Amino acid sequence: MQNVIIFGRGKFYQSVKTDIHAKYHVAAFLDNKIVLGMEEYLEDLNISAYNPADVKKAGLCPIIIMAKNFWELYRQLLDLEIDEKRILFGVELFPTTRNEKLAFSGKEHLIIESKMLVFKSDKQDVILSNQEAYESHIKYYANQIYKEKCPYIDIIANMPTIPASRVFGTERGKPIDRYYIEKFLDDNRQSIWGETLEIAETTYSLKYGEERIKHAYMLHVNGWGENAIKGNLETGEGLEDCRYDTLVITQTLMFTYDLYNAAENIYRTLRHGGTAFVTVAGISQISRYDADRWGSYYSFHKDALHRLFEPLFGQENVSVKSYGNVKTAIAMLYGLCCEDLVESDFAVYDKDYPVIIGAILHKV
- The CATH number assigned to the domain holding 49 equals 3.40.50.720
Same domain, 343 and 246: yes
pTM reported for the whole predicted model: 0.79
End residue of a domain, out of 152, 167, 191: 152
| Integer Cα distance of 71 and 235 in angstroms | 66
Average pLDDT over residues 60-64: 95
| Integer Cα distance of 73 and 100 in angstroms | 19
| Integer Cα distance of 24 and 156 in angstroms | 44
Q: Using 50, 70 and 90 to split pLDDT, how confident is the model at 123?
A: confident
| Integer Cα distance of 243 and 363 in angstroms | 12
- Look at residue 98 and tell me if it is in a domain: yes
Answer whether residue 315 shows pLDDT above 80. yes
- Look at residue 105 and tell me if it is in a domain: yes
- Dihedral of alpha carbons 164, 165, 169, 170, sign: negative
Q: Using 50, 70 and 90 to split pLDDT, how confident is the model at 223?
A: confident
pLDDT above 90: percentage of residues in the chain: 93
Looking at 59-214, list the stretches that DSSP marks H as alpha helix, in order from N- to C-terminal side. 71-79, 90-93, 98-103, 131-149, 152-157, 176-187, 203-209
Same domain, 65 and 213: no
Mean pLDDT of the chain: 95
Answer whether residue 225 shows pLDDT above 80. no
Query: What confidence score (pLDDT) does residue 181 get?
Result: 98
Query: What confidence score (pLDDT) does residue 313 get?
Result: 98
The residues, ordered by sequence, that sit 6+ positions from 218 with a Cβ below 8 Å of its Cβ are 197, 198, 199, 200, 201, 202, 225, 227, 228, 229
Same domain, 212 and 257: yes
Q: Using 50, 70 and 90 to split pLDDT, how confident is the model at 59?
A: confident
- Look at residue 64 and tell me if it is in a domain: yes
Same domain, 201 and 253: yes
Closest CA to 9 of 44, 38, 37, 36: 44
* Contact yes or no for 248/195 (Cβ under 8 A): no
- Quote the radius of gyration of the chain (alpha carbons, Å): 32
Query: What confidence score (pLDDT) does residue 289 get?
Result: 94
Which CATH number does the domain housing residue 204 bear? 3.40.50.150
Same domain, 81 and 203: no
Answer whether residue 321 shows pLDDT above 80. yes
| Residue 140: domain span | 3-152
Of 139-143, 226-230, 350-354, the poorest mean pLDDT is in 226-230
Q: Using 50, 70 and 90 to split pLDDT, how confident is the model at 110?
A: very high
pLDDT above 70: percentage of residues in the chain: 100
- Look at residue 66 and tell me if it is in a domain: yes
| Integer Cα distance of 180 and 194 in angstroms | 24
Buried b (16+ CB within 10 A) or exposed e, 28-63: bbbbeebeeeeeeeeeeeebebbbbebbeebeebbb
Average pLDDT over residues 64-69: 96
Number of domain units in the chain:
2
The count of residues in the chain is 364
* Contact yes or no for 105/78 (Cβ under 8 A): no
- Predicted confidence (pLDDT) per residue in 138-184, tens digit: 999 999 999 999 999 999 999 999 999 999 999 999 999 999 999 99
